[in-house]
Structure 1
């Protein structure tokens, strides 16, 4: 009997994931035609994210989602896509400017940017699209400040990123051009920061040193690219998805208005329960091994679905979301990955999501959807983001 191959399930029109096969590891075909193993069980996803035989350093010939192999093949020197000592060394040098303590210092800036965006929303009046007016512009404004580049360049970053996140095979022609344009741009700003350093990431990376180990110019440019690429698209999708989750559960709003200290917990619950993207990076087996009794052959692609693991009913029993927020308890394990490749910008993304939600609750106390939430359309052709196409609201 031949192996059962499922079409990758993706997302239903309502934004909720469609039902998955019961097996914690199953074979599926991605949008580009590649066959991969999809992993959904909580313990199985944890094992895959930590597995020493699953590599992240893709080649263009490996199974992949959208442009990820093209992007990986264009990067050189040490990158965050590598495994082993090279990755650990780079991460150690790169992580200090993004540490939770540094991000805590940035929270007043993020709050000012969020308030300015909501000022503009209030000024123009309802209805307003929270995706276009808050979820998209907030992360790119924060990243411009963090990297020390002009805020006016935000729209061009969005254009480049839109090209590089497309999953459709026909859209891949623009990936290399967009990648080169972004690298050229960051190369120019690297020279500016070398001559006139400031309180920004690029300047901090230029100064980073551990013993005799320093970051090369190419590594700094690739780090800045990674921050822009991942820190914009994924965070924007998460802000939109969490705001959508807030509006889908109107019982949350009065609780949070009465107890704003619950906003961080609410952000954690919504990040775990509200699907922002149906995808994850494809990892590649470097040797044969078994996962949940399934034989994974060398060269096979493996996609751990972190969102599915965080909906594992054995680990996270179904409950009322208001009760989940108020009782405390389990925090999300896989929202930002797991193990040595946990997202470097996790503290930054969390701060942005918490501040975006808190600002909406504080500034727009009568916030409500302008259309039935189940009618909203979601991007299904982007990786790693996705997210809502729009989220119209009134207040």
Structure 2
């Protein structure tokens, strides 16, 4: 989390010298919720030095995610994008990285092919991919690292299938993602090279799809239309970027975290094995209960505003912690307990975001995690940790993403 964003402390005017600032997270992340100060909004310094307002209460997080004065502008001086001026200019017309009517128009067009029916059609292919990966795991024998041999390759293979590109190109995708999403480990030249290479790659794939369309997302986006509105090639390439960055690492991290949660709670694991019909509900509960990362995207205050009695100034960064909202004891009784039969009671969750920036591919991401968990429980009934769970380490050097670095298991 490098400094230099619009919400950097050096750019904030009129900050009170007596303002209490907490370090966040307050300790090394271990999959457990980091300790938080009292109150739903507090000022915090992130590891790279950035100052942000952290929001934790359920109602406050929901308000922040829907607040008209809190938005995103990741093309402005953001080290996680670091796009050249020419690319930034191209993305400023209509992009998922900004708010307002252009963003809404783009989302409508982008969502057209991502229907529940389309996800249902993909599910057998997701199952086939999971079975192939676990065939290889079973053949190699224990121990096996489920992060390296299931979570990441499954997420990557499904994305290749979705986009209609060869699975062999998955290794290139991972290399590009490693450059662009790494925090403080890739140089600006490396990031820009990866972005240019990706832009050229997807531009070539679009030309192929234009000549010979198929049942894939790139072809569907080329055909997507809303009245007289169509997606441009630049917009489609940007959407492909978004699918890769948001759908690859985050979903892989979710698979690892859900399996980790089940390994921590063998009684819940056996209950789920006995009642596989609970898988969709259980995955939501696992993602609510088990953190994959302590962070969430930072929103930018466009004007001064008040949130839970706290004055937030124009230009300040605001990080709504969706995981904290989902552990609010006022909304989730016994919030620290994993309960695969938990009654949500109609309370909306934030597993895949909320509001105008909720994940477009939420249904697909959920399907991948559900298939991975269900297949593991069925294929490896003796699944257990190969090392003490408390010794495992987590990524805090990725944005977005996070997740376990490895998850060795036996069966």
Fold shared per TM-score above 0.5: yes
The 3-state SS of whatever aligns with 2:306 is strand
Alignment-derived partner of residue 344 in structure 1: 360
**Is contact 2:159–2:247 with CA below 8 Å preserved after alignment?**
yes
2: CA distance between counterparts of 1:69 and 1:24?
Answer: 32
Alpha-carbon spacing, 1:80–1:296, altered in 2? closer, same or farther (3 Å) = same
Equivalent of 1:280 in 296, 301, 315 = 296
TM-score by length of 2: 0.91
| Structure 1 position 208 matched with structure 2 position 224 | yes
Matched, 1:194 2:207: no
In the alignment, which residue of structure 1 is the partner of 2:279? 263
Q: What is the Cα deviation at residue 258 of structure 1?
A: 1.5
For structure 1, which runs of at least 5 residues remain unmatched after alignment? none
Report 1:111-122 matches (<5 A).
111-122=127-138
- 1:205 is displaced (CA, Å) by 0.6
Give, in whole Å, the separation in 2 of the partners of 1:10 and 1:160. 31
Give 1:70 shift. 4.7
Does the Cα contact within 8 Å between 1:238 and 1:387 map onto a contact in 2? yes
**Pairing partner for 1:94 from 110, 132, 143:** 110
Q: Secondary structure at the match of 1:98?
A: coil
Deviation string 1:320-358 (CA, Å, 9 cap, x unpaired) is 856x21243346611111111110010000000000000
Instruction: State the secondary structure of the residue aligned to 1:97.
Output: coil
Question: What TM-score do you get using the length of structure 1 for normalisation?
Answer: 0.95
Q: Is the contact made by 2:80 and 2:183 (CA closer than 8 Å) also made in structure 1? A: yes
SS in 1 for 2:207: helix
Q: Give the distance between the partners of 1:227 and 1:59, measured in 2 at CA.
A: 17
Q: What is residue 344 of structure 2 aligned with on the other side?
A: 329
Segments ≥4 residues shifted beyond 6 Å: none
Question: What are structure 2's unaligned runs of at least 5 residues?
Answer: 1-16
C-alpha contact 1:53 1:286 (8 A) present in aligned 2: yes
Q: Does 1:84 align with 2:100?
A: yes
Q: Deviations over 1:175-206 (max 9, x none)?
A: 22211111111111010001110000010010
SS in structure 2 at match of 1:325: coil
Mapped to 2, the partners of 1:171 and 1:44 lie a distance apart of 36
Distance in 2 (alpha carbons) for counterparts of 1:51 and 1:383: 23
CA drift of 1:76 comes to 3.9
What is the total number of aligned residue pairs between the two structures? 391
Q: Is the 8 A contact 2:289 2:336 kept in 1?
A: no
Q: Does 1:237 align with 2:253?
A: yes
Say whether the 8 Å CA contact 1:11–1:380 is kept in structure 2.
Answer: no
- 1:307 Cα deviation (Å)? 0.7
Q: CA deviation at 1:58?
A: 3.2
Deviation at 1:57, TM superposition (A): 2.0
Query: 1:10 Cα shift?
Result: 6.5
Aligned-pair distance for 1:173?
4.3
CA gap 1:25/1:321 in 2 versus in 1, 3 angstroms: closer
Residues 380/241 of structure 1: CA separation in 2 closer, same or farther (3 Å cut): same
Would you say 1:385 and 2:401 are equivalent positions?
A: yes
Conserved 8 A contact 1:166-1:172:
no
SS of the equivalent of 2:319 reads strand
Q: Residues 214, 145 of structure 1: CA spacing in aligned structure 2 closer, same or farther, 3 A cutoff?
A: same
Once the two structures are TM-superposed, the CA of residue 11 in structure 1 deviates from its matched residue by 6.1
Q: Structure 1 residues 281, 37: closer, same or farther in 2, change over 3 A?
A: same
Match of 2:34 in 1: 18
Q: Which sits farther off after the overlay, 67-76 or 152-161? A: 67-76
Distance 1:374 1:387 in 2: 14
CA contact (8 A) 2:285 2:342 kept: no
Distance 1:114 1:280, change over 3 A: same
Aligned to 1:220: 236
Contact kept? 1:272, 1:335, Cα under 8 Å:
yes
Counterparts of 1:296 and 1:338 in 2: how far apart (Å)?
Answer: 21
Query: What residue is the counterpart of 1:139 in the other structure?
Result: 155
Residue in 2 that maps onto 1:46 = 62
- The one of 165, 168, 187 aligned to 1:149: 165
2:29 & 2:309 partners in 1: Cα distance? Answer: 33
